[in-house]
Amino acid sequence: MINLDPFTRRLFFRNSGIALGSAALAPLLREQAGATPAPSLLHFPPRARRVIYLCQSGGPAQMDLFDHKPALEKHFDRDLPDSVRNGQRLTTQTSGQNRFPIAPSAFKFKQHGQSGSWVSELMPYTAGIADRLCFVKSVHTDAINHDPAITFLQTGSERPGRPSMGAWLSYGLGSLNQNLPTFVVMTSATKTDGQPLYKRLWGSGFLPSRHQGVRLRGTGAPVLYLDNPPGVSRTTRRQIIDDVNAMNRLRLKEDENPELSTRISQYELAFRMQESVPEITETRDEPARTWKLYGEDARHRGSYAANCLQARRLLERGVRFVQLFHRGWDQHENLPRDHQKQCQDTDQATAGLILDLEERGMLDDTLVIWGGEFGRTAYCQGKLTRENYGRDHHPRCFTMWFAGGGTAAGTTYGATDDFSYNVAENPVHVHDLNATILRLLGIDHLRLTHRFQGRNHRLTDVHGRVISALLA
């Protein structure tokens, strides 16, 4: 085998017709199917082995969904007291308003289950599983605008370039399978406009690139460039990969670059994914019970419901971390109409996913997370009527929930004031949330580190505390 220089090797690879593209961004896998991390990598006995993160991009309005505030009714169209707003930074959308009139929720609330959890009429299916959920109503964050806020939620930093949560888990825990990525990402089609989502939200940052998420697409080929190019047989592709990997191994002996090892494993994974990915995305073999749980929308590839179903199928086959992004929760106007659309898209499938995992005996060791990057303001943005209003971004308090994975089902932690504007009890910062998630997975957030630019970095930066009340 000739030891070719990098330029020549790139030419050979390009001309061979094997453009693996996104598939080549897959994680490094263990050699053994069903491989698990070495015990030394776990700091505690894990309560969860895998994660589904249902990221509701845009900022769901907590007081219209889960944080019942009946006292707002008597304040309709009155200005939010200065003592409540307390000089909060305003976005450019509302900084020019002369008034900040209070907008009570247009939706009815009821208590559900033995837990008595408050859930809006917008989410009847979620209400039906209230006793399986752990609501956290006192989450707060640092950023007030979408991009830094969702970047902060996913990476622990408002600045781009840090590893995402899924990448940290891939780095710390390794793979549970041989034929699929450790970390998979899906984005769903929506009926309302949504904020852009950037690859850094599932990127590896300064960690080796094998840890970044692989995006499973809702249209066209599930993974870009996974299929053989025209005229290239599977046998030929296998031979080309073998030859390229042989050259990479020669170079690895001269240059101990971890990205070379990553490249070798990427090509191998991409080859195996040619058979494993089509099997996962083909859902026609699912029984009638599945469609009843997730809803008929699950038959439409790329929908939120279809992605929830795909998430379960991925976990069954050993994917450790699945992240679903659903955009469209950013309602600065027409919130009652558009939040209703969002809930129609997501409510049944979300509850169906929880019930499906439970029936299959998977919920106990699967952590499900639901939430967005921040909440919404109690005051109205734009024109206010009883039936219509908008809400601005609100980082001071919002609601997220957990299910499964060793969390305290049927509980509510934290509380907000009468205006759902400030945390009144048991604040939970995003760093605390991430520290708790890692703890459920058997990881001490203080010890999962990677040295970069002269210091050790971690998902929780130099902050974070485990909220033990959220653990079962």
Range scoring the smallest mean pLDDT among 26-40, 271-285, 316-330, 357-371: 26-40
pLDDT surpassing 50 at residue 211: yes
Tell how many helices (H) and how many strands (E) occur in the chain.
12, 17
Question: In this predicted structure, what is the pLDDT of residue 111?
Answer: 98
DSSP 385-408: -SS---EEEE-S-EEEEEESTTB-
pLDDT surpassing 60 at residue 34: no
Nearest alpha-carbon partner for 370 in 62, 47, 45, 46? 62
What length does the chain have?
472
Q: Compute the mean pLDDT over every residue in the chain, rounded to the nearest whole number.
A: 87
Per-residue model confidence as pLDDT tens digits over 176-208: 887 889 999 999 987 777 888 999 999 999 998
Question: In this predicted structure, what is the pLDDT of residue 273?
Answer: 64
Nearest alpha-carbon partner for 178 in 273, 249, 41? 273
Return d(Cα 299, Cα 292) in angstroms, integer.
11
Q: C-alpha 91: how far from its chain's center?
A: 25
For residue 70, what pLDDT band results from cuts at 50, 70 and 90? very high
Return d(Cα 283, Cα 213) in angstroms, integer.
22
Return d(Cα 156, Cα 463) in angstroms, integer.
10
Amino acid at 153: L
- Give the β-pairing of 109-112 and 117-120: antiparallel
**437 CB-near residues (< 8 Å, 6+ apart):** 51, 165, 367, 369
Per-residue model confidence as pLDDT tens digits over 321-358: 999 999 999 999 999 999 999 999 999 999 999 999 99
pLDDT surpassing 80 at residue 17: no
pLDDT surpassing 70 at residue 4: no
Mean pLDDT of 22-28: 34
Q: DSSP class of residue 209?
A: G
Range scoring the smallest mean pLDDT among 210-219, 295-304, 348-357: 210-219
The owner of tokens 């209003």 is 389
Burial zone of 253 (CB within 10 Å; 0-12 exposed, 13-18 middle, 19+ buried): exposed
**Cβ(354)–Cβ(39) below 8 Å:** no
When comparing pLDDT for 372 and 4, which is higher? 372
Per-residue model confidence as pLDDT tens digits over 221-267: 766 666 667 777 777 767 777 767 777 777 777 777 766 666 666 66
When comparing pLDDT for 261 and 415, which is higher? 415
When comparing pLDDT for 39 and 221, which is higher? 221
pLDDT surpassing 60 at residue 161: yes
Mean pLDDT of 386-392: 96
Residue 102 burial (CB count, 10 A): 25
For residue 464, what pLDDT band results from cuts at 50, 70 and 90? very high
Question: In this predicted structure, what is the pLDDT of residue 16?
Answer: 37
Nearest alpha-carbon partner for 272 in 51, 52, 33? 33
Mean pLDDT of 83-88: 92
**349 CB-near residues (< 8 Å, 6+ apart):** 294, 295, 297, 298, 304, 305, 308, 309
pTM summary value: 0.85
Per-residue model confidence as pLDDT tens digits over 418-440: 999 999 999 999 999 999 999 99
